[in-house]
Amino acid sequence: MEEKNIKKGLELAISDDDPNASTRKNDHIQMAFKSQIESGLLDKRFYYEPLLSKHPSISDIPATNFVGKTMKAPLWVSSMTGGTELAKNINTNLAKICKEFGLGMGLGSCRKILSDHTYFDDFNMRPILGEEVPFFANLGIAQIEYLIKEKKVYQIKEMLDRLSADGLFVHVNPFQELLQPEGDVLSLSPLTSINSLIEQLDCKIIVKEVGQGMGPESLKALMRLPIEAIEFAAAGGTNFSKLELYRGDVEKQIIFEGLTKIGHTAEEMVFFTNKLIAELGDAIQCKEFIISGGVKNFLDGFYLINKLNANAIFGQASGFLKYAIEGYDNLKAYTEAQLKGLAIAGAYLKVK
């Protein structure tokens, strides 16, 4: 099929018989004045190298090894929620995309299916995903603290087995819990709970925030732990503190609004992480990263994974959600476009 297209393209390129030529030339004249780009608007993050590659296709994206599995592209579908009819549909669409394009997937909080099986089908995506791509379950730090206190960590293992998940995301969200009208109170520091979890649960663990990222001290503490990866879930995109604040009363909104503006962007976190890699040397145990949170498109993703001095992929949540709600065809078109963009970036751009 591709061969046929290439042949057709070649024939057009070398023949004078181009039926669109005169309309195109007219378009060029009409649109030239509307198509000026001020030099100040140029994207300064990249060198553009037009001489070095043919036009790439998605299959030219190099495979990425991540958390012990192979992905066809360095793109991750970040954790989103389950437990409603809408969420089942969304998760199914997301899982189909991951299967089709060889991407990894994180589930939203699986609290609902820890001991109750009513909503299991909403989260049971392994049959759709197949065995090849990474698939991780998800629990919040408050739930982890509770399960450790109640000596019920075994429930997590049982859930991971039921889901055939490769491991567990632990989301660390103290601000979200504080601002959520029905939020949980953390009696221990997240770091204390994560350390206990590592001792008690034999599985791959990825730790993430939920949209405000984390500073260098938290990153440093995590990078020294025997966990599989860190997902930035940085600030600059979906902000759960803001979302929870909207759900609460107006007085609380006025008092705590400032907390929604706290956080670190993915770019800032790449900078922190690179500094820590240089500083910690052999003391680093966690060596893989999902750069996410406000990563708007393939250019941001390509830039950030190339800037980080470690094995990294990039993730999106709300970017996928928008299209997953609309239906599989739109989600597929969006994903295909992002991957095509990634292939183009790989062919013609070098990160400065």
Ligand X SMILES: Cc1cc2nc3c(=O)[nH]c(=O)nc-3n(C[C@H](O)[C@H](O)[C@H](O)COP(=O)(O)O)c2cc1C
Binding site for ligand X (CB under 6 A): 78-81, 108-109, 138, 169, 171, 208, 210-211, 233, 237-238, 292-294, 316-319, 321
Helix 318-326 and helix 328-348, axial crossing angle in degrees, nearest 10: 140
* CA nearest neighbour of 75 among 102, 39, 108: 102
In the complex, minimum distance from the CB of residue 32 to ligand X, in angstroms, rounded to a whole number: 36
* Helix (H), strand (E) at residue 196: helix 190-200
In the complex, minimum distance from the CB of residue 321 to ligand X, in angstroms, rounded to a whole number: 5
In the complex, minimum distance from the CB of residue 160 to ligand X, in angstroms, rounded to a whole number: 16
* CA nearest neighbour of 213 among 265, 141, 271: 265
Q: Which is nearer to ligand X, 22 or 181 (CB)?
A: 181
* Alpha helices, H only, 58-139: 85-101, 120-123, 126-129
Q: Which is nearer to ligand X, 231 or 272 (CB)?
A: 231
Q: Which is nearer to ligand X, 36 or 308 (CB)?
A: 308
Phi then psi dihedrals of residue 199, to 5 deg: -70, -35
Q: Which is nearer to ligand X, 160 or 281 (CB)?
A: 160
Q: Which is nearer to ligand X, 142 or 321 (CB)?
A: 321
Q: Which is nearer to ligand X, 2 or 116 (CB)?
A: 116
Q: Which amino acid is at 190?
A: P
Q: Which is nearer to ligand X, 33 or 233 (CB)?
A: 233
- How many whole angstroms separate alpha carbon 232 and alpha carbon 219? 9
Q: What is the dihedral of CA 109, 115, 121, 125, to 10 degrees?
A: 50
In the complex, minimum distance from the CB of residue 240 to ligand X, in angstroms, rounded to a whole number: 6
Q: Which is nearer to ligand X, 206 or 223 (CB)?
A: 206
- How many whole angstroms separate alpha carbon 154 and alpha carbon 251? 41
Q: Which is nearer to ligand X, 72 or 208 (CB)?
A: 208
In the complex, minimum distance from the CB of residue 104 to ligand X, in angstroms, rounded to a whole number: 13
* CA nearest neighbour of 294 among 347, 250, 231: 231
In the complex, minimum distance from the CB of residue 79 to ligand X, in angstroms, rounded to a whole number: 4
In the complex, minimum distance from the CB of residue 231 to ligand X, in angstroms, rounded to a whole number: 7
Terminal-to-terminal C-alpha distance of the chain: 36
In the complex, minimum distance from the CB of residue 236 to ligand X, in angstroms, rounded to a whole number: 7
DSSP string covering 9-71, please?
Answer: HHHHHHSS--TTHHHHHHHHHHHGGG----GGGS-TTEEE-TTS-PPP-GGGSPPEEETTEEE
Give the number of other CB atoms < 10 A from CB of residue 5. 10
Longest CA pairwise span in the chain (Å): 77
Q: Which residue is nearest to ligand X (CB)?
A: 237
In the complex, minimum distance from the CB of residue 312 to ligand X, in angstroms, rounded to a whole number: 15
